[in-house]
């Protein structure tokens, strides 16, 4: 693949690429609320497409919270559910925002493509503001958030939609994501795709 620094268009994942996340924190938080095997429930919800429906905006935050409350002991409040669901959302390292700002100043086009739901977006934006006064909307040329556009990775339709909306051929852009299934989905439409593994920070790609 070409040198990552040689592209003019970058389509970037959010969680695990720009903002740090730890799924196990939410698993442990729900276990503490009274779901002893949250992994099993997560798999059950995945099979019944509840997470997909929420991440593509087909059910509301309240409907999603109510689904989780159905599996929790009586007396658990919606706020506690939100807190546990958000436990996976961590910090935004300053160096990553600095990188985005540098790329933008160099004339690069930046696009966020994230599988994200309304509750997580609210928490992620709050974490972002702890690091920078410059909001994502001011850095990225466009935000493609699954719960707003109604599609999610790794399905080919969202990658094609993004390229069409930008007005570029897929081979003109570099897509960076920390999930291999999303990388494989992007490659199906001809996007250059780079898998960001745990031992590689996005800032290292441009150093």
Per-residue pLDDT of 11-40, as tens digits, reads: 999 999 999 999 889 989 999 998 877 877
SS3 35: coil
147-179 tens-digit pLDDT: 999 999 999 999 999 999 999 999 999 999 999
Indicate if the pLDDT at residue 205 is higher than 70: yes
The answer to whether the beta carbons of residues 111 and 166 sit under 8 Å apart is yes
The DSSP code sequence of 67-131 is HHHTTS-TT--HHHHHHHHHTTB----HHHHHHHHHHHHTT-EEEEEE---HHHHHHHHHHHHHH
Q: What pLDDT shows up at residue 203?
A: 97
Average pLDDT over residues 138-154: 97
* Structural domains for the chain: 4-20+91-205 (3.40.50.1000), 23-86 (1.10.150)
Cα separation, 86 vs 79, whole angstroms? 10
Q: What pLDDT shows up at residue 46?
A: 67
Highest mean pLDDT among 31-40, 44-53, 178-187: 178-187
128-137 tens-digit pLDDT: 999 999 999 9
């Amino acid at each position: 693949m070409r040198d990552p620094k040689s592209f003019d268009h970058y389509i970037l994942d959010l969680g695990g690429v720009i903002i740090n996340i730890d799924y196990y924190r939410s698993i442990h938080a729900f276990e503490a609320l009274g779901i002893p095997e949250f992994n099993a429930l997560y798999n059950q919800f995945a099979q019944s497409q509840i997470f997909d429906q929420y991440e593509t905006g087909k059910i509301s935050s309240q409907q999603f919270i109510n689904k989780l409350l159905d599996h929790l002991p009586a007396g658990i409040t919606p706020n506690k559910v939100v807190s546990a669901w958000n436990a996976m959302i961590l910090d935004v390292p300053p160096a990553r925002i600095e990188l985005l700002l540098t790329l933008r100043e160099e004339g690069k086009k930046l696009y966020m493509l994230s599988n994200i739901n309304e509750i997580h977006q609210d928490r992620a934006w709050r974490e972002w503001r702890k690091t920078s006064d410059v909001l994502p909307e001011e850095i990225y040329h466009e935000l493609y958030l699954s719960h707003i556009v109604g599609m999610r990775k790794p399905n080919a339709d969202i990658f094609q939609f993004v390229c069409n909306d930008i007005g570029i051929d897929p081979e003109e852009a570099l897509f960076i994501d920390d999930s291999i299934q999303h990388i494989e989905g992007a490659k199906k439409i001809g996007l250059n795709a780079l898998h960001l593994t745990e031992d590689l920070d996005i800032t290292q790609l441009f150093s």
